[in-house]
Structures are given as structure tokens and as C-alpha cells.
Amino acid sequence: MIRVTPDICIHEREIKEEFIFAAGPGGQNVNKVATAVQIRFDVRNSPSLSGELRERLMSVAGKRVTGDGVIVIKAKRFRSQDKNRKDAVNRLIDLIRRAAVQPIPRRKTKPTAISRERRLEEKHRRGRIKRDRISPPDPEDY
């Protein structure tokens, strides 16, 4: 079991991992050993997550979510499979933790009278500056 928060635990079997060849530095090792890892976590069918958390997780994950509701994370920062696996799982845990934080509902507020006055004064000041940039009409044109 992977403990994400005190309330949320994910079973290891919910995460599918596949090792792939990584591009970048490493010499011939890159061509011989599949050190990069690609993990997949099925958000829609995960029994560990509540419905509300699923929706927030899919929105937090953004473009990492496929059309089927599967989060795909690739890790290729390190030269060892074990470090890349841990990196990918930690990134998934970080995503779930960010989604677990419930957003604070926005309270509608009105601007204060002073802030409205300041805003209008700034608009008048900018207008005067722009008006002063205009060169006066040439008297020969009359």
C-alpha cells in the first residue's frame, strides 16, 4: 500500500509500470538498458479514490490524463530503473495530494468606494498623459 495522505492509500497493483528506452545522456547504456519508466494509473476505475477526488485529480493532471481517464507519467531523469520508478510514483503521489486539497469557495466581494475612486482617477491620469502626447495642430493647415 502506498500512503498518499492519512486518509488516502493506493494499492501497488493499481499502478501499471512499463520500462522504456530513455533518450539523452548515458552513452551506450541508453541503447542497451530500458531505464526510463512509464506508469499508468486508472483514475476512473480506482477503488481507492472518492468521486469528487477523481474529478479534481483529472483536472489537476491536465494533459497527462488520457481520454479513458488514465494518468500517464514518464520518468527518465535518472540512469537507474529504481530511481526513475520512485520518481514517477512520487510525482503521482504529489498530483493526488494536490487534488486532495479541497479548494476554498470564492466569496464574492465588491470593490470599495475608495478603490473605485482610485481606479477612475488613474484612468483620468492616463487619459491626460495620452492627450498631452498629441501634437498641436499645425497653423499652416488652416
Q: If one looks up domain 2-100 in CATH, what number appears? A: 3.30.160.20
Question: pLDDT for 29-52, tens place per residue?
Answer: 666 777 788 888 887 777 777 778
Q: Helix, strand or coil for residue 117?
A: helix
| Grid cell digits, residue 3 | 500512503
Q: What is the pLDDT of residue 110?
A: 93
Number of H helices, E strands in the chain: 4, 5
CB contact at 8 A, 79 and 46: no
**Tens digit of each residue's pLDDT, the chain (142 residues):** 776 666 776 767 777 888 877 766 666 666 677 778 888 888 777 777 777 888 888 888 788 778 887 888 888 887 777 888 888 888 888 888 888 888 889 899 999 999 999 999 999 999 999 988 887 777 776 6
